[in-house]
Structure 1
Amino acid sequence: MSISISDVHWATSGVLVVKGVSLEVPTGQTLGLIGPNGSGKSSLLRLIGGLRKVKSGVITLGDTRIETMPRRDIAKRVAFVEQQATTETQVTVTEVVRLGRTPHRGPLAPWSTVDEEAVDNALRQVGMIGKSRQLWHTLSGGERQRVHIARALAQTPSELLLDEPTNHLDIQHQLEILSLVSKLPITSIVALHDLNLAAMFCDRIAVLSQGRLAAVGPADEVLTEELIADVFGVRAHIERSPHHGRQHIHFLDCIS
């Protein structure tokens, strides 16, 4: 198992945000993490990435409990892609992606062939090798998100965590980014708002509701009209898409 979460709780300012979540993510799978705003998706991702410490419970990466791992070792293994990152600095695409090598290098270590290969491979994986010398601020939103993912891949991670990677993107770039992520040969957890995109690109879906795990499994088992009504407060009709054979959710109205 790549990631194992057992009875994890986390609180802030005395308020419990993540409540007894237990979840396993097999190696190489893409897990979609969905739920209403405030359900604990971002908090759970940060706990898995070692950016926050659990109040109680255990998170394991491979065979190792995360609380026993030095921060640098976690960073070598787990890459995190934030919702949105900007910079006004005049930097090139390559310079941004090179930041992903930081956990693997000492403060005085020279840039190596291994570092260069990791950066080039990451750029190729996201289809941005042809724009490696282009300035960051000249990229489109979709291209910037590809570069963010390339920077994460330059870490050569075993696990990739993405927090709403399609926010602020048009539908074409949303589809391109999630198709890219779903084909990567690593374990990925993707927090998403769009239930249809989660159903299209994720091997399994985990649904959070008020900090608790409401359901987990394949999309066609988890995303039912009843669950959508209970968790999201919306009436929906679900049918099979004639194009890809997967379910498609039509939202009807809010439940008052």
Structure 2
Amino acid sequence: MSIHVDTVSFAAGNTLIVDGVSVAAEKGKVLGLLGPNGSGKSSLLKLICRLRKVQSGVIRLGDDDIASIPRAALARRIALVEQQATTETQVTVMDVVRLGRTPHRGPLSSWSTGDDSAVAEALSRVGMHDRAGQLWHTLSGGERQRVHIARALAQTPSELLLDEPTNHLDIQHQLDILGLVSRLDVTSIVALHDLNLAAMFCDRLVVLQKGRVIAAGIPEEVLTADLIAEVFGVRACVEKSAVHGRCNIQYMASGA
């Protein structure tokens, strides 16, 4: 496995946020994290990239405990795309994506042709190369999200973590962003709210509730009407889509 979370727990004050979670992300595949607000999805992503400290359990990248990996080396390997990262500074698309090279450069090192190549390739992969000189604040929400992913790709990571990458985006941009992620040759863990998008683009799913794993497996095994009712509190009909072959969820109005 590329990322292996083994019985990990994390608390904020007296509140247990992540409670004995075990998760395995297969190399080169997309793992979706599902669950209601407060279920621990964002906290788990931050634990994996060591923005939060594990209180018990172990997180491994390959065979290595992340606690033993120097921060610079970890930053070169794992890239995190957080929700709605923004800035008021007058920066260009190129400026933002160049930040992705920070883990690869020492305090006194000069910008290299290798850095240029990594940035150019990242911009091309998200279809934003022709916007390199455009000011950040003039971009749409979907374009900004593409640039954030480009910044992460400029790190040349082997693991990519995304926290609600489709939040507040229109349908077209939701499909574009997740389609892009599913085609990348990296291990991806994506926290999502939309169950249909998770079914379409994720190879495997993990469902969290109150910090615990409730279910894990391929979408067809995990996304059942009973689980959706138990975890999300809604009635749903789950059928195989005639369009993409994955499960499709239709929600039922209360009282219907």
- Tell me, what secondary structure is at the counterpart of 1:160? strand
**Residues 192-211 of structure 1 mapped to structure 2, 5 A cutoff:** 192-211=192-211
Name the residue aligned to 1:167: 167
Q: Distance in 2 between matches of 1:157 and 1:254?
A: 44
Name the residue aligned to 2:41: 41
Q: Distance in 1 between matches of 2:187 and 2:26?
A: 7
Task: Give how far 1:253 is off.
Answer: 3.5
Is residue 71 from structure 1 mapped to residue 71 from structure 2 by the alignment?
yes
- Tell me, what secondary structure is at the counterpart of 1:72? helix
Q: Which amino acid aligns with 1:142?
A: G
- Tell me, what secondary structure is at the counterpart of 1:199? helix
Name the residue aligned to 2:32: 32
Is residue 148 from structure 1 mapped to residue 144 from structure 2 by the alignment?
no
Name the residue aligned to 2:158: 158
Q: Distance in 1 between matches of 2:68 and 2:4?
A: 15
Task: Give how far 1:89 is off.
Answer: 1.3
Name the residue aligned to 1:109: 109
- Tell me, what secondary structure is at the counterpart of 1:16? strand
Is residue 12 from structure 1 mapped to residue 21 from structure 2 by the alignment?
no
Residues 136-182 of structure 1 show CA distances to partners (whole Å, capped at 9, x for unaligned) of 11111111000000000000001000000111110110010000001
What TM-score do you get using the length of structure 2 for normalisation?
Answer: 0.98
Task: Give how far 1:63 is off.
Answer: 1.4
Q: Which amino acid aligns with 2:158?
A: S
Task: Give how far 1:246 is off.
Answer: 1.4
**Residues 70-89 of structure 1 mapped to structure 2, 5 A cutoff:** 70-89=70-89
Q: Which amino acid aligns with 2:17?
A: V
Q: Which amino acid aligns with 1:125?
A: R
**Superposition misfits of 4+ residues, deviation over 2 angstroms:** none
Q: Distance in 2 between matches of 1:183 and 1:126?
A: 11
Give the 3 Å change call, closer, same or farther, for CA 254–31 of structure 1 in structure 2: farther
Residues 20-51 of structure 1 show CA distances to partners (whole Å, capped at 9, x for unaligned) of 11111110010010000000000000001111
Are 1:233 and 1:254, in contact at CA under 8 Å, matched by a contact in 2?
no
Residues 70-125 of structure 1 show CA distances to partners (whole Å, capped at 9, x for unaligned) of 21111110000011111121111111100000011011110001111110110011
Name the residue aligned to 2:131: 131
- Tell me, what secondary structure is at the counterpart of 1:200? helix
Q: Which amino acid aligns with 2:120?
A: D
What TM-score do you get using the length of structure 1 for normalisation?
Answer: 0.98
Task: Give how far 1:254 is off.
Answer: 5.0
- Tell me, what secondary structure is at the counterpart of 1:117? helix
- Tell me, what secondary structure is at the counterpart of 1:75? helix
RMSD of Structure 2 on Structure 1 (CA) = 1.0
- Tell me, what secondary structure is at the counterpart of 2:123? helix
- Aligned-residue sequence identity (percent) comes to 67
Give the 3 Å change call, closer, same or farther, for CA 83–155 of structure 1 in structure 2: same
Q: Which amino acid aligns with 2:111?
A: W
Name the residue aligned to 1:232: 232
Are 1:166 and 1:174, in contact at CA under 8 Å, matched by a contact in 2?
yes
Which structure 2 residue ranges, 5 or more long, are not aligned? none
Which structure 1 residue ranges, 5 or more long, are not aligned? none
Q: Which amino acid aligns with 2:90?
A: Q
